[in-house]
Amino acid sequence: MQASVNRIHNAAMAILEKVGIKIHHPEICAILHNNGIKVDQNVAVFTENQVMRWIGKAPSQFTLQARNPAHDAVIGGGKPQYAAGYGCPEIVDAAGRRRSATLGDYVRFVRLVQQCDSFRINGGILAQPAELAADQTHLAMTYATLLHSDKCLMGQPGCAESSGKVMTMAAMVFGGRQALKEKPRVLTLVNTLSPLQIDRIALETIKVHAEYGQALLITAGVMSGTTAPITAAGALALGNAEVLAATAISQMLHEGTPVVMGLVVTPADMRTAEVRLGAPNHAASFRYIRALADLYGLPCRCGGCVTDAPGLTHQSGCESMLNMLATLQSGADLILHSAGILDSFKAMSFEKFIADLEAIRMVEHYLTDIPVDEASLALPVISETGPGGEFLTHPHTLANCRSVPFRSMLGGARNREKSLGARENYLARINSTLEKLLSDYRQPPLAPELLTELESYLTTEGLEPTYLETIRQAATAA
């Protein structure tokens, strides 16, 4: 496999040197030129030495600091960090009905993520509320996350002004602008524009985050056969070139800016041009993405519980489980779209969110090796029980029955549920788990003076009072 990884790397270097990347930002073009990068009509070309020198300045590991230190997330340390679904404009219910996402949905997802031990990262675009004006999206979603969660903060990409507003709010919470600059507190997804472009919004997001020393998840979302070659190797090479160029730019702006390397290679259905996240060749790309990140000394993002299914179905279960298994086997450091995502990134589902938590637990359990030692071999117990005996009532079984077997949240019908159909039974347990998580939620404390400062800033920036009231009501809802 390493020989193939090297060939993909060499192809990416050839793309960067002979084809180049179009940079849609004159100031960034000037910065590139001043650092010895050849720029001709906004197309930058890099030598391999230049690329490797700059990306070598990004850390191979960093700790994303949460408001509550118990939720700090080490990224690149060998333990995967999960983030929920991202960017969807619609919500799908258990019956498959679709509707536009709302700010209330967004807050509900924030509260669920806060409640789940699997997650240390919250916020971002858990769902895109339809009622929010474009210029108020960053304000409302960042405030909702800060109010309802004390986990690590995921930001939202945007122009310099909107990215700056996220930093202003983060600075209020984390002790001022200088204190914010001292530690990575915000992680934001930035996408390149395939093929071989980086747009102004992405570059301004990178610039603002570099200025504040905040973390970037730089991702090329290439689609094989539409925005990249139809062959997986060609798509990997093209996407890799884009991510490396953007990472190099981040280091020119501020050496040491934390960067997670993201590369999403999705096959496209040649009959419809739609992406196919559930295809096995999508999952097969994860091990190459991990190997490329290792080659560059960068933390890696790939995978998730992704599916093309439009609802919670057998298809969604098969595809999500395959993708999460391949993700964790690859050794991904950061996993976006870990829970709730449906329909090729188009929709989120509260029911799928719960089902995906179960998938994560099952795959983690499967990949954890069984203990083989004197206690677990239990030879005295076997000897004591002897031929024809039983272990059900043995003290050894009673002492270990709550810790050794995998205890499913959702699977296996109980006697009292056997009168229900299989799907009704499954959905009933999903809804019971969902309701318990939300009913057990307790809002993390936020100092009253800080709350006043944040709300004053939001009002000054023109956040609609109705949006602010929606977020407040959700904070006090039973």
The string of pLDDT tens digits covering residues 123-165 is: 999 999 999 998 899 999 999 999 999 999 999 999 999 999 9
pLDDT at 409 over 90: no
Q: What is the pLDDT of residue 476?
A: 53
The one-character DSSP state at 443 is: P
Question: 477 pLDDT exceeds 80?
Answer: no
Report pLDDT digits (tens) over 329-376.
Answer: 999 999 999 999 999 999 999 999 999 999 999 999 999 999 999 999
Q: DSSP class of residue 193?
A: B
pLDDT (tens digit per residue) in 267-302: 998 898 889 999 999 999 999 999 999 999 999 999
Mean of all residue pLDDT scores within the chain: 95
Per-residue pLDDT, 478: 40
Q: At residue 261, what are phi and psi to the nearest 5 degrees?
A: -80, 120
Burial of 307 (0-12, 13-18, 19+ CB in 10 A): buried
Is residue 412 very low, low, confident or very high in pLDDT (cuts 50, 70, 90)?
Answer: low
Burial class, 53, CB count within 10 angstroms (exposed 0-12 / middle 13-18 / buried 19+): middle
Q: Residue range 224-237: average pLDDT?
A: 97
Number of residues that this document lists for the chain: 478
Q: How many helices (H) and strands (E) does the chain have?
A: 19, 18
Distance CA 356, CA 305 (A): 6
| Token code pair at residue 220 | 């090329």
416 pLDDT more than 60:
no
Residue 419's pLDDT is what?
59
Helices (H), 149-231: 160-173, 177-182, 200-212
Q: Domain 62-236+255-367 - what CATH class?
A: alpha beta
In this structure, of 156-170, 216-230, 370-384, 461-475, the range with the lowest mean pLDDT score is 461-475
Least Cα distance to 242 among 19, 475, 5, 3 occurs for 19
Does residue 121 register a pLDDT over 70? Answer: yes
Give the Cβ contact number of residue 212 at 10 Å: 22
pTM of the model: 0.94
Reported as a pLDDT band with limits 50, 70 and 90, residue 420 is low
Alpha carbons 382 and 148: distance in angstroms, whole number = 51
CB 348 within 8 A of CB 91: yes
Triad 288, 293, 296: Cα angle to 5°: 130
Q: Is the pLDDT of residue 226 over 90?
A: yes
Domain residue spans of the chain: 2-55, 62-236+255-367
Closest CA to 430 of 364, 342, 310, 340: 340
Amino acid present at 415: N
- Give phi and psi for 193, each to the nearest 5: -115, 95
Which residues make beta-bridge pairs with 215? 187
For residues 35-44, give the mean pLDDT.
97
